Amino acid sequence: MRVLGIETSCDETGVALYDTRHGLLADALYSQVAMHADFGGVVPELASRDHTRKLLPLIDDVLGEAHCGRADLDAIAYTAGPGLVGALMVGASTAHGMARSLDIPVLGVHHMEGHLLAPMLEDDPVAFPFVALLVSGGHTQLVAVEGLGAYRLLGESVDDAAGEAFDKAAKMLELGYPGGPAIARLAEHGDPTRFRFPRPMTDRPGLDFSFSGLKTHTLTTIKALRDEGALDEQAHADIARAFEEAVVDTLVIKCRRALDDTGLKRLVVAGGVSANVRLRERLDHALTKRRAKAFYPRNRFCTDNGAMIAYAGAQRLMAGEHDDSAILAVPRWPLTDLRPPAV
């Protein structure tokens, strides 16, 4: 089965073609980061308009790279949520229109299920069951995964997601958008011993996260240094390092705890923050000591992309799932609402 995947949930337009026998045939991604950077974050109306401009040319590019025509498609999968409703509607309406014209099935896919399954596109795919850390600009969740659609929420952020916290800290440091990569670059030049920021909610039981207090501590530190006239270039780097270290340590502590609580030995880490080099290093070291293993998507599949949607959609389409005639766009959609395919 050849499945075209379409991702338009936020600020990346992603398209991919996945073959259930031969794997990923082609993928393409257009990022709107440069456009939104001027505003310090995503502007929903601009995002929707840009998806409209870019989606059909990207579909043609992917089909051309794979030497396929539209008539060679067996099904189409698209991101139905969660995300920005206008952006979701661009992908959903395009997918339904194409599927109807080709008389093939179409399926709306949960965006976070796509992220969760993205490591399965790699040469060494993870096997069920496992614990998943889904960590991005909109989500920070720990999930016990028994199989496709069999998800149990272990813990989540009670306020900001980790990626959102990175963006806000970067704004305080005047580093621009998106914040995660900018802070990681600056942190490379920071002194890890100058500041120690709090590791929120790690001194109590449970697997929930909170990053709002860390954000406040960062702002307080910046203001104090500014008042002292000591907020120089090195101070910016030292703060970035302390912030990154605090987020990474918090995520690693919670992941270790989740593996201990479930007794599982496999951890999937997915979402934009999963590309953070320091996070991967710390997790790999921590899990090796526990004789456990972490699985990650390749870097270009950490952020939103069409390949993960094509893959996730293919798994459910092969089980006979598909949309009816209604276009599906669900801005808020808990991952735990999903169910295993009926077989």
23 marked as binding residue? no
Strands 106-110 and 75-81 come out as parallel
Rg (Cα) of the chain, in Å, rounded? Answer: 20
Angle (CA) 333 336 342, round 5°: 105
136 marked as binding residue? yes
Could you give the C-alpha distances from 196 to 188, 239, 318, in angstroms and in order?
16, 9, 50
The whole-angstrom separation of Cα 179 and Cα 163 is 8
135 marked as binding residue? yes
Could you give the C-alpha distances from 5 to 19, 75, 271, 310, in angstroms and in order?
11, 9, 17, 4
111 marked as binding residue? yes
Q: Which DSSP letter does residue 66 get?
A: T
For 304, the token pair is 């939103």
Which string of DSSP letters, residue by residue, matches 185-226?
HHHTTS-TTT-----TT-SSSSS-B--HHHHHHHHHHHHHHH
115 marked as binding residue? yes
134 marked as binding residue? yes
36 marked as binding residue? no
What are the backbone dihedrals phi and psi of residue 293, each rounded to the nearest 5 degrees, phi first?
Answer: -140, 140
9 marked as binding residue? no
The whole-angstrom separation of Cα 121 and Cα 135 is 18
40 marked as binding residue? no
Classify 7 as helix, strand or coil. strand
Binding residues for substrate: 134-138, 167, 180, 276
Residue list, annotated binding site for Fe cation: 111, 115, 304
Q: Which residues are annotated as a binding site?
A: 111, 115, 134-138, 167, 180, 276, 304
